[in-house]
A and B are shown apart, each in its own frame.
Chain A
């Protein structure tokens, strides 16, 4: 498997409230503190191959309930990388932990460690019982049971004439081909299928240190600590939890069993899990840790007996792209017509909440805990460019954090129905943890299938196929988890492509697993009003240029503005109105006489419905709005955005709508020419159905 490491850290779901450095013997250790609850949880560093980001799936969740401290172990992350094995002795890590506790005024903490962090974790618990309130160990690497047989074949520090398999766990090989070793070792850490993201992350962290540091660290761990480890375990008095994957190919499950026995701790075996379940099965591990840490419960709780419950639905509307808000609100309205006693709560975030609040919808207060998704997507974009598949992959921490918010909420409050409109976190983690389903569940989407972009090459094709395969396996294994899957569109809107090698055709599979609601516009085209009302005369032809609510579109706006003089020459009665939107400063855009640049246009959709031409990006909502209103339009799909380039383009092609432009090749002249050809043109689009929201609501309402 080829796995690339990302160069820069992905957006975090939660940033530390405090961070700093402690120095011991000239070695600086970087720590972070999150949250302020009780008790404090100290997430320990493990082998220097990875650093504190390996806790990224735990921090946002635990920090909502407890106070969380992490630190980078010496040898990686933002901590120093001293030379020599002695700097990496087991006791050094225990003393670093105490130093971090002192620096953060932490008297006592529950310590949690992965793999060889168990060595210093046990040392801390045994020798400093007054500072350790409890200890949880995941995939512990402890000398209490023999290692895996395949790891006893080759010596670590002698030159070998092979680098096959575990012969790669050899210092000479590390120095020759560190990356090859990382790919092998991290591959063994994640024996679970479909772990590409976790593998990619860990290799990336591994590349932040050097083989020399790992060699020193290995030597340091081998140094004696002056006491027998088994004896040390017996001295541990605090509660102990051991979590060990039965499929761990780094450290045998027997070591976890032995540790639980030696410490009198509780053992939880994760069947099918590998060495780092905190990264691969974060929901389960988070719940286990939370139960173990046991932060104080809410003083007052409420439970409503079944028959006394109001009929309630929780609507989770994706904030990626603004389009979902309008259609989800329209579906909710239709749903209330069918079930007038239905209460709908929304778990949503900006910008969706802005639309919902304006309509008087009830945003659940837990929404405030959601990590920002649209901000992340924006941070992943470049000049008219959004690698949307990678952007969503690089959102795994945020998605998990938001799933945990959802899960906390539905534990406390009862709903009859969950509706997820492209709520990826909900659909993915429910299939990964099917026992957490506790209401009827509807999945809505307007596209099916992750598709590779041509310039992504074989690697991207491999990744998208892997994501598709995991989704297909999820549905095949748990076919009743989605009580209903609704495709927002028609059969023919599904792309005629394959999910990947040896995988089904997307359209065949979607027909088998989805119901089709038709397109949901979220408005009634009859009620849009006329040009005169909006201030447009009969003697002018109006072209509106808009790029939605994000900052991604500034480059497209500039390009279109530059076409204005030539377009005006070709179309003398042209009136061009450029809508900058909330994230683009209108003053940062070029000006021409006669060109109107506005920061904001109230009821933009009405203007789009009345214009003679629109120039837009390739997003589904706006382009389908224009299609439904039978307006001519030019659309520029964002580069590397597979949904805009493949799924939306296919759908618009079916409707015969819009003229697809290419940001790469279409300059101001090409745009001016296209404007003059398209403006005011009579269109022969396939009509867009108006009953989509009602049809979707009917499909959903059957579950209530």
Chain B
């Protein structure tokens, strides 16, 4: 990376602070949540992979909270939530169960969920298996195993082999993480923002990544994803309106994933040309407007 990036030690001033916050505890794991605003419907901003925490929604919260009620929570493994170290704690169903616990704790009967990346899997579980509580779902750059194809460069190295090289995607490897966690975080986050002039989003996300550690991240990797068959079967059960946003320059997760996800859920797809994996951070105005349009179109 050409730019020297340092993580800020303390959180920057927020545009909006929560009206309410608290913890829910499940099997001894405490999950930290926040509630903003009081409109209708409630929007539940789902956690993604534990590499980053709920601050990645910072460009959405102040806007959405002026029109709707917004609930966020830190996924287990980062932010102010606990960081269990066993893999079983990071199964997709655990995150879905955390979401339901947060909905209960905040007395939210039903919500529209918005999931980013891995949030697509836990969000899909909720939409399919708890249809009565989910009024709609937006998925941004969703990591969807049920269709599309992986990026070829991500299929070269596996996670467990100890390689001699640490070039490129060879960094995506448990041994490298234990040796140089920060190096991997910086690499991975640089792939998250393929758009030019993304220094601030990269700096933010690296900072969030450094709030957790290699051990936790390895545990999340050991927890199984949804299988392709499982994901497809779940899609068939989704009844709520679905909107998928996917950048065509996504270098972490191919746009073909989002396309397949929209097709299989009967949802609408907006392809963001020139966008990378996290358009809600890099192109927040467009994504905010698309989210609002979706929320207002719900029956």
Contact = CB atoms under 8 A, between A and B. Distances in A.
B272 A303 contact: yes
Contact of A300 (B197, B269, B273, B297): B269
A302 B297 contact: no
B274 A301 contact: no
B270 interface: yes
Contacts of A297: 268, 297
Contacts of B286: 303, 305
Contact of A301 (B197, B249, B269, B279): B269
Contacts of B274: 304-305, 307-309
A300 B268 contact: yes
B34 interface: no
B215 interface: no
A450 B11 CA distance: 64
B196 A307 contact: yes
A305 B268 contact: no
A308 B286 CA distance: 14
Contact of A294 (B197, B279, B282, B297): B297
B59 interface: no
A302 B255 CA distance: 12
Contact of A305 (B269, B272, B290, B297): B272
A309 B270 CA distance: 16
B268 A301 contact: yes
A305 B270 contact: no
A302 B275 CA distance: 11
A359 interface: no
A8 interface: no
B25 interface: no
Nearest to B294: A297
A492 B286 CA distance: 48
A477 interface: no
B268 A302 contact: no
A411 interface: no
A299 interface: yes
B195 A302 contact: no
Contacts of A304: 272-274
B86 interface: no
Given A294-B297, A307-B195, A307-B196, A302 B270 contact: yes
Interface string A290-332: 0000100111111111011100000000000000000000000
Contacts of B283: 305
B271 interface: yes
Contact of B273 (A298, A299, A302): A302
A307 B276 CA distance: 13
A199 to B, nearest CB: 37
Contacts of B197: 307
A600 to B, nearest CB: 44
Contacts of A303: 270-273, 286, 290
Nearest to A301: B270
B271 A302 contact: yes
Secondary structure call for the B interface: mixed
B109 to A, nearest CB: 22
Q: Which of A297, A299, A307, A308 has the most CB of B within 10 A?
A: A308
Contacts of B275: 305, 308
A307 B193 CA distance: 14
A110 B249 CA distance: 41
B271 A301 contact: yes
A302 B279 CA distance: 13
A530 B294 CA distance: 65
B197 to A, nearest CB: 8
Interface string B256-294: 000000100000111111110001001100100010000
A651 to B, nearest CB: 46
Given A294-B297, A303-B286, A308 B273 contact: yes
Contacts of B273: 302-305, 308
Contacts of B268: 297-301
A305 B273 CA distance: 6
Contacts of A305: 195, 272-275, 279, 282-283, 286
A302 B283 CA distance: 14
A300 B246 CA distance: 11
Nearest to B279: A305
A291 to B, nearest CB: 9
Contacts of A298: 268
Contacts of A299: 262, 268-269
Contacts of A302: 270-273
B274 to A, nearest CB: 3
A307 B273 CA distance: 10
B148 to A, nearest CB: 14
A328 B244 CA distance: 41
A556 to B, nearest CB: 53
A331 to B, nearest CB: 29
B201 to A, nearest CB: 13
Interface string B79-98: 00000000000000000000
Nearest to A297: B268
A321 B131 CA distance: 60
Looking at A294, A297, A302, A305, which has the most chain B CB atoms within 10 Å of its CB? A305
B271 A300 contact: yes
Nearest to B270: A301
Contacts of B272: 302-305
B176 to A, nearest CB: 32
Contacts of B262: 299-300
A448 B237 CA distance: 63
Interface in B122-172: none
B250 to A, nearest CB: 13
A17 B272 CA distance: 37
B21 to A, nearest CB: 33
B200 to A, nearest CB: 15
Contacts of A308: 249, 273-275
Nearest to A300: B269
A294 B197 CA distance: 38
A31 B35 CA distance: 54
A607 B286 CA distance: 55
A303 B285 CA distance: 12
Interface string A194-225: 00000000000000000000000000000000
Nearest to B287: A303
Interface string B194-211: 011100000000000000
A294 B249 CA distance: 31
Interface in A93-152: none
Contacts of B269: 299-301
A168 B297 CA distance: 47
A266 to B, nearest CB: 12
A65 to B, nearest CB: 15
A298 B271 CA distance: 12
Contacts of A309: 274
A198 to B, nearest CB: 33
A303 B286 CA distance: 9
A307 B272 CA distance: 12
A258 to B, nearest CB: 26
A307 B249 CA distance: 13
Contacts of B290: 303
A294 B272 CA distance: 23
Contacts of B271: 300-303
A294 B294 CA distance: 12
A298 to B, nearest CB: 8
14 contacts: A297-B297, A298-B268, A299-B268, A300-B269, A302-B270, A303-B270, A303-B286, A303-B290, A304-B272, A304-B273, A305-B275, A305-B279, A305-B286, A308-B275
Interface of B: 195-197, 249, 262, 268-275, 279, 282-283, 286, 290, 297
Interface of A: 294, 297-305, 307-309
User: 8 tightest CB-CB pairs across the interface, nearest first?
Assistant: A308-B274, A304-B273, A305-B274, A300-B269, A302-B271, A301-B270, A305-B283, A303-B272
Given A301-B269, A303-B271, A303-B290, 9 more contacts: A297-B297, A298-B268, A300-B270, A302-B270, A302-B272, A303-B286, A305-B195, A305-B283, A309-B274
